[in-house]
């Protein structure tokens, strides 16, 4: 169930009861999305971390309309973080991983893509994250970074080219 905008807005403005209600209403969707993004053993942790971050950072949300995408981005980041930790320690996929999860190329691809983005110089990484992760428009990025639209487009193009070259190597 998608929370209604007045509830989100009240939570953004610091209404504690609204925030608690928002978290309760959002939890099933967060859990469903975490199941599709995380290893099964990480789902509960991803949900818990996401709910905690929503609770702590709801005031930073730009608009109520951005709430669903914002929450989904948090879940994705948490799942990636857990997956990175697992790969860094050299752990195999959990035994309870479903065949679909184990066979999907996304975990490895996501990790490679994350590494490629982190390898970018700051000025390119910044526009790539704003455009492709946060889904800002070109105009919003230009305003946020105090750049021209043309400069933003150029940085996005060059950043994506660098990512492509990184992934081809």
Say which CATH number the domain at 110 has: 1.10.10.10
Q: What is the pLDDT at residue 130?
A: 81
Band (pLDDT 50/70/90 cuts) for residue 99 is very low
Task: Give the global pTM.
Answer: 0.54
CB 39 within 8 A of CB 93: yes
Task: Work out how many domains the chain is built from and give that number.
Answer: 2
Kindly state whether residues 64 and 133 are assigned to the same domain.
no
Q: How many CA atoms are closer than 13 Å to the CA of 1, on its beta-carbon side?
A: 9
For the residues 30-41, what does the mean pLDDT come to? 83
Kindly state whether residues 10 and 93 are assigned to the same domain.
yes
Instruction: Read off the CATH number of the domain in which 70 is found.
Output: 1.10.1740.10
Kindly state whether residues 97 and 109 are assigned to the same domain.
no
Per DSSP, helices labelled H in 99-148 are 99-103, 106-119, 122-128, 138-145
Q: What is the pLDDT at residue 103?
A: 47
Kindly state whether residues 94 and 112 are assigned to the same domain.
no
How large a percentage of the chain has pLDDT more than 90? 34
Q: What is the pLDDT at residue 1?
A: 46
Closest CA to 150 of 125, 126, 121, 127: 127
| Least confident residue range of 112-116, 117-121, 122-126, 152-156 | 112-116
Per-residue pLDDT tens over the stretch 129-166: 888 876 789 998 999 889 999 999 999 999 999 999 98
How deeply is 92 buried, as exposed, middle or buried, from its count of CB atoms within 10 A (0-12, 13-18, 19+)? exposed
Kindly state whether residues 110 and 166 are assigned to the same domain.
yes
Kindly state whether residues 94 and 115 are assigned to the same domain.
no
94: left (phi over 0), alpha (psi -120 to 50) or beta: beta
Kindly state whether residues 76 and 151 are assigned to the same domain.
no
State which of 68-72, 93-97, 114-118 shows the largest mean pLDDT: 68-72
Closest CA to 67 of 12, 143, 122, 128: 12
For the residues 51-69, what does the mean pLDDT come to? 86
Domain boundary among 104, 133, 155: 104
Q: What is the pLDDT at residue 100?
A: 43
Kindly state whether residues 94 and 110 are assigned to the same domain.
no
Q: Which residues contact 101 (CB under 8 A, 6 or more apart)?
A: 39, 40, 93, 107
Kindly state whether residues 99 and 70 are assigned to the same domain.
yes
Kindly state whether residues 63 and 14 are assigned to the same domain.
yes
Domain that holds residue 70: 1-104
Kindly state whether residues 48 and 97 are assigned to the same domain.
yes
Kindly state whether residues 122 and 82 are assigned to the same domain.
no
């Amino acid at each position: 169930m998608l929370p209604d905008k007045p509830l989100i807005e009240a939570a953004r403005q610091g209404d504690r009861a609204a925030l608690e209600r928002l978290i309760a209403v959002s939890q099933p969707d967060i859990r469903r999305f975490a199941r599709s993004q995380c290893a099964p053993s990480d789902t509960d942790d991803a949900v818990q971390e996401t709910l905690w971050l929503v609770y702590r950072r709801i005031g930073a949300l730009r608009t109520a309309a951005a709430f669903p995408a914002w929450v989904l981005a948090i879940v994705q980041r948490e799942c990636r973080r857990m997956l990175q930790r697992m790969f860094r320690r050299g752990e195999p996929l959990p035994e309870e991983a479903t065949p679909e999860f184990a066979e999907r190329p996304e975990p490895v691809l996501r990790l490679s893509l994350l590494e490629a983005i982190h390898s970018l110089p700051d000025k390119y990484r910044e526009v790539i994250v704003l455009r492709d992760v946060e889904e800002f428009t070109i105009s919003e990025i230009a305003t946020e970074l105090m750049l021209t639209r043309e400069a933003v487009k150029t940085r996005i193009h060059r950043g994506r080219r660098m990512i492509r070259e990184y992934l081809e190597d």
